[in-house]
Amino acid sequence: MSNAALSSVTLSHLDWLESEAIHIMREVAGQCSNPVLLFSGGKDSICMLRIAEKAFRPGRFPFPLMHIDTGHNYQEVIDFRDQRAAELGERLIVRSLEDSMARGTVVLKSADEPRNKHQSITLLEAIEEFGFDACIGGARRDEEKARAKERIFSFRDEFGQWDPKNQRPELWDLYNARSFKGENIRVFPISNWTEIDVWQYIEREQLALPSIYFAHQRPVVRRSGGLLPVTAVTPVKPGDQVEEVMVRFRTVGDITCTAPVESDADSVAKIIAETAITTITERGATRLDDQTSEASMEQRKKEGYF
């Protein structure tokens, strides 16, 4: 294509976001010796896989995929995770929080304690086990205030900790992934995306998703200001009133703290329309563990959480 023709091409909003994410992912591959892409089977990490395909295909990804499994994830999401990794022919590493519990490095206060905040320990153990110097994830700034403070290339010290007051400048899309042995970089290629950007990208790219992202009937109880699904992990308690409600999940994670929302949106187009008018962030509406000061996102990130 001639320069004149190139100059006449108008890139859409999604084109710009995609181009930035591809650039960031290639920067990781170019600067880091042993990176890994975190893939949970959730919508953001599904977009990350498509970005990786566009950045590196027809070659193999220059990094494996990894998931830190709490042991209490939704089976639909775990099944999708395994299926998608197999379809891509990419290596998937799974490390379980329950392995950390068996080693005694994670100790729960009670059997029903939410496990999300303990994932940082298992993640740090996996980073040390494989010697990863960069972890690529799908976190976005619009999700939560602490994430809005973080750079795209986020430095972590030898203890895996993040200091929000000591971050590297990122001028003119220049990124610094330099680190000493034991340190690592957390990289967020879709940091500048919003929830609706993600859904519009999923629609444009026709990406497959776990079924729980779409409206379906599910038994729930109303607890802690949200809906909690009735499962073996979250059984009915005395005083609970079980309801059959049409719900969908805006975000997925540990069953004990990830709440669905009432919705009849059974297609990506309907989800986009619903997202466009919502006034509550996805984590604010559906992550029950983010609503307590003890489990604040900033504190968990300082301790090594993604």
Q: CATH number for the domain including 167?
A: 3.40.50.620
6: in domain? no
- The domain of 276 spans 209-292
Q: Name the CA dihedral angle for 7, 12, 16, 21, rounded to a multiple of 10 degrees.
A: -130
Q: For residue 172, what pLDDT is reported?
A: 82
In a domain, 3, yes or no: no
As for how many domains the chain has, the answer is: 2
Please name which of 172, 197, 187, 164 lies closest in space to residue 47, comparing C-alpha atoms: 197
Domain identity same for 184 and 234: no
**Is the domain of 96 the same as that of 226?**
no
Q: What is the pLDDT of residue 200?
A: 97
This prediction's pTM: 0.86
Residue 269 lies in a domain: yes
d(CA 269, CA 48): 20
pLDDT at 225: 73
Over its length of 306 residues, how does the chain's per-residue pLDDT go in tens digits?
555 554 557 889 999 999 999 999 999 999 999 999 999 999 999 999 999 999 999 999 999 999 999 999 999 999 999 999 999 999 999 999 999 999 999 998 887 777 888 888 999 999 999 999 999 999 888 877 666 777 888 888 777 677 777 777 777 888 877 877 877 888 999 999 999 999 999 999 999 999 999 999 999 998 777 888 999 888 898 888 999 999 999 988 888 888 899 999 999 999 999 999 877 766 555 555 554 444 455 555 555 555
- 267 and 174 share a domain? no
Give the residue among 123, 49, 125, 131 at the shortest CA–CA distance from 90. Answer: 49
User: Do 219 and 78 sit in the same domain of this protein?
Assistant: no
- Pair (135, 215) in one structural domain: no
Does 251 lie in the same domain as 168? no
Token pair listed for 67: 């998931």
- 215 and 239 both lie in a single domain: yes
Cβ proximity of 216 and 246 under 8 Å: yes
Q: Which token pair is 263?
A: 């919705």
pLDDT, residue 280, reads 73
Q: Does 163 share its domain with 46?
A: yes
Q: Domain check: are 21 and 150 in the same one? A: yes
Same domain, 178 and 230: no
- Nearest to residue 116, comparing CAs of 126, 105, 127, 108? 108
Instruction: For residue 223, tell me if it sits in a domain.
Output: yes
Q: Is residue 203 part of a domain?
A: no
Task: Please indicate, yes or no, whether residues 43 and 164 belong to a single structural domain of this protein.
Answer: yes
Residue type, 241: Q
- Is 204 within a domain? no
User: What H or E segment, with its residue span, contains residue 23?
Assistant: helix 13-31
Q: Are 95 and 122 in the same domain?
A: yes
